[in-house]
Amino acid sequence: MYRKTIAVIGGSGFIGTRLVELLIDAGHSVRIIDKQNSSKYPEMRLAGDVRSIDEMVSGCGGCDVIYNLAAEHKDDVRPISLYDDVNVQGARNVCEAASRLGINEIIFTSSVAIYGFSPHELNEEASIGYINDYGRTKYEAEQVYLEWVRADSSRRLRMLRPTAVFGEGNRGNVYNLIRQIGKKHFVMVGDGENRKSIAYVGNVAACLRFLLEIDSQQVAIFNYADKPDLKMNELVPIVRSAFGYGENLPPRLPDFVIYPIATVLDALAAVTGKSFPVSRVRVQKFCSNSQFATDRLLQAGFVPGYELRKALVRTIKAEFGV
C-alpha cells in the first residue's frame, strides 16, 4: 500500500490520537483537524470544526483519505441540537468538502447506538432501533455518507460501528461502570447473566487503520467489539479483583427493587437539575444485554492485538493506580 496523505477529523481525541500514531507508524502523512489541541501531536493539528464547511475544505485540501471521528456523544449534551449540528450537518460538510476536493475515500466512525437495546446479539443487518438523539444522529449521518458514495462509483466508504470503548485516558461509560464496580461497597443489580460487548481503544484504533487496507468493495460496514462478550457475573469479578477486593461477587439486589428508586431519583433530577448516580437508563444499561456480532470483520481478516481481560486490567491500573 502506497503512502497516503490522510486527514483525521477529531484526531485530537481519545480514539483519534491512537489512530494517528498507528497511521504514522504505517508511513502515512497525517493531518489532524480538530477544534481541540492535540496533546501528543500539536504540530500536526489544524484548527477546524466539523460544523464549518469552509474549515473542512481548507483543512482537507491535498488529502487522499478523510477519517471522521468527530462527534457529540455524551448523555447530557445541551442544547440537544448539537447532536444534529455536529453529527449530521458535520457529515454533510465532510461529504461536501470531499466532493469539492476530489477526495474519493472516507472512513467514518458510527456507533452501535443506532441499534438500541436487544436481548439478542446483533449483526450489521439488524433493524435500526436507536433510543436517543446520539443513536438517531449517527444513523442519519450514515445515510449522508451512503448517499455520497452512491453518487460516484469511484468513491469508497468504510463505516465502523464500535460498541462502548474504554482505555487509558477515557472517561466514558465503561470508565464510569468500572468506577462504580470498584467502590468497596458496590452492590450488584439483577442476576448478572446479561452479556456486554465492549471494546478496547487500542483495538478500535487498529481496526480503523485496517479499514484503510480493504479495497474490494465500494461500501463496507462493520460492527466492532472485543470478543468474547463478558457476562456481568464475569466482568464484575475481573474489576473487583483488579481493585484488590477478590473475585467474589458482591451482594445483589433484584432490578425490580431498584427501578422504583431510580424513577424517584429521575424525578428529583428533573426538578432540581442535579445528577444522581442511579437512574432508570443506567439501571437498564447495567441489566440489559448489549451484544454485537463481529463475524464480518473477522472474515475480512482483522485480528485484534489486545486480549479483552488483559486490556481491562491494564486500563484499571492506569486510571485508578491500583
> What are the residue numbers of the active site?
134
Amino acid identity for residue 240 in this structure: R
* Helical residues (DSSP H) of the chain, grouped into ranges: 14-25, 53-60, 81-82, 89-101, 133-150, 173-181, 201-211, 232-242, 255-272, 280-287, 295-300, 308-320
Q: ∠302-305-311 over CA atoms, to 5°? A: 130
Cα gap 195→236, rounded to integer Å? 12
- Residue 87, Cβ neighbours under 10 Å: how many? 27
The residue to which cell 485484534 is assigned = 304
Question: If DSSP states are collapsed to H, E and C, what string results for 15-66?
Answer: HHHHHHHHHHHCCCEEEEEECCCCCCCHHHEEECCCCCHHHHHHHHCCCCEE
Round to whole Å and give the CA distance between 288 and 124: 20
Instruction: Give me the residue label for grid cell 465492549.
Output: 198
